[in-house]
A and B are shown apart, each in its own frame.
Chain A
Amino acid sequence: MSTASTCATRRSWWDHVTPALKDPISAVTQAFLADPCPYKINLGVGAYRDDEGKPVVLQCVREAEAKIAASNFLESTSTALSSKLVEESAKLVYGEDSDVIKERRFAGIPALSGTGACRLFAEFQKRFYPESRIYLPDPTWPNHRNIWRNVHVPDRTFRYYHPDSKSLNFMALMDDVKNAPDGSFFLLHPCAHNPTGVDPTDEQWREISSLFKVKNHFPFFDVAYQGFASGDVERDAKAIRIFLEDGHSIACAQSFAKNMGLYGHRVGVLSVLCNDKIQAMAINSQLQQISKTMYGSPPIHGISIVSKILSDQEIKAIWLKEVKVMATRIHRMRIILREALERLGSPLNWQHITNQVGMFCFSGLNRAEVYLLEKEFHIYMTPDGRISMAGVTTKNVDYLANAIHEVTACDQDAKILHNTDAYKINTDIRFTSLGTSKARARGMNLALKPCDKIFTVLSKSMSPLIMKDSANVNSANVNNSSNDRWNPPDENHVKINFDASFNVAQRTSISGVIVRDANGYIMAAGSFPHSYVPDPEMAEARACEQAVSLARDLGFRRVIFEGDALNVISKLNNPASDLSEISVILKNIHDQRSSFLSLSFLHVKRKGNEAVHLLAKEGRKFVSKRVWIEEAPSCVEDAVISDRWWVDPVA
C-alpha cells in the first residue's frame, strides 16, 4: 500500500505544534520541586499551609467524608447532591435571609472550582452577549485573561492597584468604570484580591456599586476566598451584599478550593441572579448545556463533601472555626514579617504587608529581586512579586525577612527601582549583588543562628553560579573587551543592536533595531510595535527576533546581534532545551540561522546599548513599524556619535 510514501511526505501530524507557554504559577512550583535545597520555601502557589509548612486536610472535611463514605458512587444521588450544593452555596454568598434565596431568584450549577465557574460564565456571556467584552482589574489572577480569551471574549483592564502606595487606586478605578461603554461586564474580586490583597473599603464598594448602577454595568464576582480575608464568611461577602442591596443583576463564581482546602477536588458553583423562577430555569438549562459538552457533570466526591459540610450544622460550625484559624494564622504571619523587616532596619515602607488581606501579599518586589530570592535564597514566588502568605511559617519568617531585606536594601539601584518601576528588569543588579553575596552570607550567618547550614550550602553553590554567569558573558564577547560600551564589529561583519520598551498597562512593546558597520555608521534602523506582550523578557525576545528578521530581509549574511537582556542572550547561546515563555521565539530565531553565514549573540551592558534603547522609546510615537535605510531618527544621533568613542569627538 501507499503507507511508506505518506509517511515520508509528512513526518508527524504534530510537527507544527509548538510548546505552550508555561503557566507562571505552575512554573514556580516546578522550579521549587526541582530545587534540592532543604531550606527552600515555596511562596508561589496559593494553597494554605499550616505552621509546619504542611498541607492541611480540614477536620470538617474528614468528618463529612466519614459520613458520606462510598455512598457517592451511586449515580442516582448526584442530582440531589448538586442542587443541595447550589442552594447552600447561594445562601453562603447572598445571605441566608436574602430575598434572592427566599424567592429562589437565582440560577446555579456546580462547576469545576473557580476556574470552571468563570469559564462557564464566560461561555454563557459569549453565547448571549456575543459582542460584549470583559473588564478585568489590573493586575488580576493571570488565568482570568486566558479564560475569557479562550472563549473569544475580548478583555480590557481597569486600573486597580497603585504600585507606589501599594494600595487601591480608587480614583483611577472609578475613572475607568465611568469611561467603559454602558452595559459592560466587569470582573470584581469581592474579598482578598488576587494577587494584590488590596480590597476596597465598604464605603468605596458603595460608590462603585452606585456608579455601576448609573452605567448599567454587569458585576461578575469571582469569590475565591470567602472567609479567608477576615476569617468570617459573612464579613467577606459584604461587597456582594452591598451590590445586592442596590438591586444589581449579578453573578458569582464561588470556589471551595481555599476556604475548605478542597483544591484537588475541584468544587465550585456558578450562580446568576434572575428575575423569577422561570428565568432561573431557562438559565440553568443553558448553563447545563454548556457544561455538558465540556466535561459532562462535575466530579461527585467534592460535591458531596461540600454539600455535607454546608448542610450539616455541626460540621458547618467546625468549618467556620477552621476558616477563622487559617485566616488568623495568615494575618499573624503578616504582622511578624513586617515587624521583622522593620527590625532589620529596612529603609522601605512595609506597611502594605499588614494592610493587604487574604492569602497574598503583593510585595512590590521587582523581577530582579524575585530572581535573586530564588537563586540565592531558594525562595520561590511568582515573578510579579506576589507572596503567598500561607507559605510563611514562624520557622521561616525570619529567614524570609532577612532575604527580602538583603535583596531590597543592599543595592542602591535596586532601591530606586523598587520605588519607581516594579516591572523593569535591570540585569546589572544581579552582578553588583552577586559580587557582595559572600560577604552578605557571612553577615547573615551571624544574624541567623538556626539557619547556618544553608549558608555553607549557599556559598558553595553560589560561587560556581557566579563564575558560570560571568564565563558565559566572557565567552560570548568575542572581542573580550569591556562590555559596558558599544564596540564596533570587524570589517566582515555588521553589528545589530536591539532593545525593547515595554508598556506595562497595555502589555505592548516596541522593538528597536539599529544596524551599524565597522566604522560605527548606521546602515539601517527600525522600530516595530508588538501587542499581547506579557512581560519585559518577552519584549526583549521579540526585539531580538525582529533584529534577526530585519537582518535577513536586508540581506546581511555575517551578523553580530547584541542586546542588554542577559537572559535572552544566554538562552540563545545555550542550546539546552528551554521551556520558558520565550522558548517559542527563541526557536523562531534559531530556525532563521540558516539564512546567515555567520551569526553570534552578545550581551552588552545598558550603556553600550544606549542608541537603540532611545530608538525603542522613540518608537512609542509611531503607530506602525518604521524602517530607515542608512539613517535613523534624530533622537539617537548623540548616542551613535558617542558610541564611536575611538574617533576624536571634535573631528
Chain B
Amino acid sequence: MASSVLSLASATPSASLSSHEIEKGKLNLGNSSLCFKKEKTNPFMKTKSVGRISMAVASNVSRFEAITMAPPDPILGVSEAFKADNHELKLNLGVGAYRTEELQPYVLDVVKKADKLLLEKGENREYLPIEGLAAFNKVTAELLFGADNPVIKQQRVATVQGLSGTGSLRLAAALIERYFSGAKVLISSPTWGNHKNIFNDARVPWSEYRYYDPKTVGLDFEGMIADIKAAPEGSFILLHGCAHNPTGIDPTPEQWETIADVIQEKNHIPFFDIAYQGFASGSLDADASSVRMFVARGMEVIAAQSYSKNLGLYAERIGAINVVCSSSDAAARVKSQLKRIARPMYSNPPVHGARIVASIVGDATLFKEWNAEMEMMAGRIMNVRQKLFDSLSSKDKSGKDWSFVLKQIGMFSFTGLNKAQCDNMTNKWHVYMTKDGRISLAGLSLAKCEYLADAIIDSYHNFPLMVASNKDHMPLLFLIENALHSLTTHLCLATDAQVYWLWES
C-alpha cells in the first residue's frame, strides 16, 4: 500500500483547504468572489492522491459544494411575493396567464371537451416520432401560414413539434448555432426575459435593437429600423409576431412592410416568436398577418409557435418550430437537423398536448368553439383596457396623455412606470408587477380598474424620482439590470439596495 502512504502528505493540504472552504460557504453563502473561483476549478480532478485519506475527505465534501443559488426568475418572484401579502385589495399583474373576470384561472371549455374525448378513446402512450405528432404538425403550420398557402402545398416548411414557445425557440437557436456560427440574433429592447437566456445557453451571440420609446410609451420605429440596418448582413431578427411581450406595442401594417424591406435588403433572416396568435385581436388570421406577409414576399422565415396562451395549455408544453425554406428539399434537410438537435435534448416531444391541439383544430365544431372562446378572452382584455384608460383619463387632472394604454395590444400593457414607481405600486398599493413597468391586463377585472388607476396616478405623480425625465432613467435602469443579470448568481440576490445605490450615484 505504498500509494496510500504517499498520499498522506499530498492529501493533507487539500483536506484542510476543503474543510476551510466548507466553513466559508456555510457562513457566507452570498460571497461571490470565492465561489466564482471555485466554479472554474475542479478540486477533485486535481487531487493526485489515490489513497484512503483523500477518500475520507471526499465523503465529507459534496462534489457540488461550489454550486451557488441561481437567481430567482423575476416573474415567479412576483407571484411568491403576492402570495405572502395578506392585504385584501392585493392585485397580481405579474404572471402572463389569462384570468376570468373573477380573477380565477380559466380552462377553455373546448380543451375540457377534447381532453374528455382523449380519455374516452384511451389511446396508447407510445413514443411520438422525434418531429412530433404528424396530425399536430400539419394543423399547426396551416394555422400559422394559412391552409392554402403555397409554402404548405409545396412542402417548403420544416415543422417540428416543440415544448411550447421556449422549447421551439431553443431548437431554432441550436440550429443557428450549428449552421450559422457567428451569426447574431437581434432581439428587441425590451423583450421577454427568457429570450436572452435561451440564446446564451445555446451559445448564440445576440444584441438588441431599439423598440420601445419611453417618451411616447410607443414604438421607436426609427431606432428599430436604424438598428436592423446597422446589423451585420445575414443576422437573425427576432420579431414578436403579434402582441409584443412585454410592451404590447406592435408595428402598424405599413411599418411591418418597411421592416420587411430592410430585412430583405440586408439579407437578414426574420425569426418570429408568435406566442399569442388569436389572443391579441381575437382572430387567428389577423394575428398571423405579419408572418404571412413576410412569407408572401418569398422570404425564408423561422417561426416559433406556442399554444400556452391561446389554448390555455400552459403546462402541457405544446408548440412548434417552423422553418420556411425556398425548396422542399432544403426543408427536408432542415427538418432532419432539427430532429437531430431534439434527440439528445429530450428524444421525442410529449404526446398529450399535441393530441389536444390536433383534435381541436382538426374538428370543425371544436375549432369554431375555440375561435369563439378566444374572441371572448381577447374581448375581455380589450374591455379592461378601455375601462382602465377611461378611469385614468377621468381621474388624472394633469392632462397627461394615457392613450398608449389603448394603442397597445394583447395581454400586456407597458405602463412606462420606472422601478421606483413600480415599488410604490407594490409597497403602497399592493399591486404586484414586474419591475420593468409591465402589467398583465389578464390579471385585471373591470371591478379593479379604478383602484389600479388610482395606484398608477399616485405612483406617477407623487414619487419624487419622477421629477426627472424618465427618458434618462429608463435605459440606465435597463443597463444596470442587464449587468446584474449577466453576473449571474449572487449579485442578483442583492437586488434592491444595490440597484438604488447605483442609480442615485
Interface residues of A (CB under 8 A from B): 1-3, 6-7, 10-23, 26, 45, 47, 55-57, 61-62, 65-66, 69-70, 72-76, 78, 112-116, 119, 123, 128-132, 143, 146-147, 149-150, 181-183, 213-216, 218, 247, 249, 257, 261-266, 272-275, 278-279, 281-283, 285-286, 288-290, 292-302, 579
Contact = CB atoms under 8 A, between A and B. Distances in A.
Nearest to A30: B129
Contacts of A1: 261, 264-265
Nearest to B58: A216
Interface string B337-369: 101110111111111110000000000000000
B122 interface: yes
A301 B353 CA distance: 8
B333 interface: yes
Contacts of B107: 70, 73-74
A288 B70 contact: yes
A277 to B, nearest CB: 12
Interface stretch (B319-327, B439-447, B471-479): B319-327
9 contacts: A14-B179, A131-B45, A150-B341, A183-B42, A216-B55, A283-B64, A293-B170, A299-B318, A299-B353
Interface of B: 26, 29, 39-40, 42, 44-45, 47-52, 54-55, 58-59, 61-73, 97, 105, 107, 111-112, 115-116, 119, 122-130, 162-167, 170, 179, 194, 197-198, 200-202, 261, 264-265, 267, 269, 297-298, 300, 312-318, 323, 325-327, 330-334, 336-337, 339-341, 343-353
B198 to A, nearest CB: 5
Contacts of B61: 275
A600 B352 CA distance: 51
A265 B197 contact: no
Nearest to B347: A115
Contacts of A214: 50-52, 55
A400 B49 CA distance: 54
A264 B264 contact: no
A12 B330 contact: yes
Contacts of A6: 264-265, 267
Contact of A274 (B64, B312, B318, B334): B64
Contacts of A76: 105
Interface centre among B65, B347, B353 (most CB of A within 10 A): B347
B314 A62 contact: no
A477 B63 CA distance: 62
Contacts of B29: 278
A132 B348 contact: no
Contacts of B54: 182, 216
B76 to A, nearest CB: 9
Contact of A300 (B63, B73, B126, B316): B316
A19 B336 contact: yes
Contact of A73 (B66, B125, B312, B348): B312
Nearest to A18: B333
B352 A265 contact: yes
A216 B15 CA distance: 14
Given A26-B129, A213-B58, 20 more contacts: A12-B326, A14-B326, A17-B337, A20-B333, A45-B127, A119-B345, A128-B64, A129-B63, A130-B40, A150-B345, A183-B45, A216-B47, A264-B352, A286-B67, A286-B70, A288-B70, A293-B201, A297-B315, A298-B350, A299-B317
A283 B64 CA distance: 8
A14 B62 contact: no
B313 A263 contact: no
A69 B119 contact: yes
Q: What are the nearest 8 A-B pairs in CB distance?
A: A264-B351, A300-B315, A295-B163, A183-B44, A112-B346, A20-B340, A295-B167, A299-B350
Nearest to B196: A293
Q: Which of A72, A73, A147 gathers the greatest number of chain B CB atoms within 10 Å? A: A73
A294 B350 contact: no
A146 B164 contact: no
A19 B339 CA distance: 10
Given A57-B125, A128-B67, A296-B164, A264 B116 contact: no
A16 B234 CA distance: 14
A37 B242 CA distance: 50
Contact of B62 (A16, A266, A279): A279
A279 to B, nearest CB: 6
A182 B50 contact: yes
A70 B119 CA distance: 10
Contact of B201 (A249, A265, A283, A290): A290
B336 A20 contact: yes
Nearest to A48: B126
Contact of B125 (A7, A78, A261): A261
A75 B315 contact: yes
Contacts of B264: 1-3, 6
Nearest to A130: B40
B137 to A, nearest CB: 15
A293 B63 contact: no
Given A69-B115, A299-B316, A14 B323 contact: yes
A419 B198 CA distance: 50
A245 to B, nearest CB: 12
B269 A266 contact: no
Nearest to B115: A70
B48 A182 contact: yes
Contacts of A218: 63
Query: Which of A131, A266, A302 gathers the greatest number of chain B CB atoms within 10 Å?
Result: A266
B351 to A, nearest CB: 3
B340 A21 contact: yes
Instruction: Give the one of B58, B323, B344 with max A CB within 10 A.
Output: B344
Contacts of B42: 129, 131-132, 183
B197 A143 contact: no
A318 to B, nearest CB: 16
Q: Which of B112, B125, B348 has the most CB of A within 10 A?
A: B125
B201 A128 contact: no
Contacts of A150: 341, 344-345
Contacts of B336: 19-20, 22, 579
Contact of B350 (A17, A182, A302): A302
Given A16-B179, A119-B345, A278-B29, A128 B39 contact: yes
Contacts of A69: 115-116, 119
B326 A11 contact: yes
Contact of A115 (B200, B201, B344): B344
A119 B346 contact: yes
A122 B21 CA distance: 26
A294 B167 contact: yes
B67 A279 contact: yes
Contacts of A143: 343-344, 347
Nearest to A181: B45
A296 B125 contact: no
B345 A65 contact: no
Contacts of A265: 125, 350-352
A7 B300 contact: no
Nearest to A246: B59
A147 B72 CA distance: 27
Nearest to A281: B69
Given A66-B119, A299-B350, A263 B126 contact: yes
Nearest to B343: A23
B250 to A, nearest CB: 23
B352 A302 contact: yes
Contact of A292 (B49, B73, B346, B348): B73
A286 to B, nearest CB: 5
Given A132-B42, A295-B163, A299-B350, A75 B105 contact: yes
A286 B67 CA distance: 8
B17 to A, nearest CB: 15
B140 to A, nearest CB: 16
A129 B59 CA distance: 18
A55 B351 CA distance: 15
Nearest to B44: A183
B105 A74 contact: yes
A132 B350 contact: no
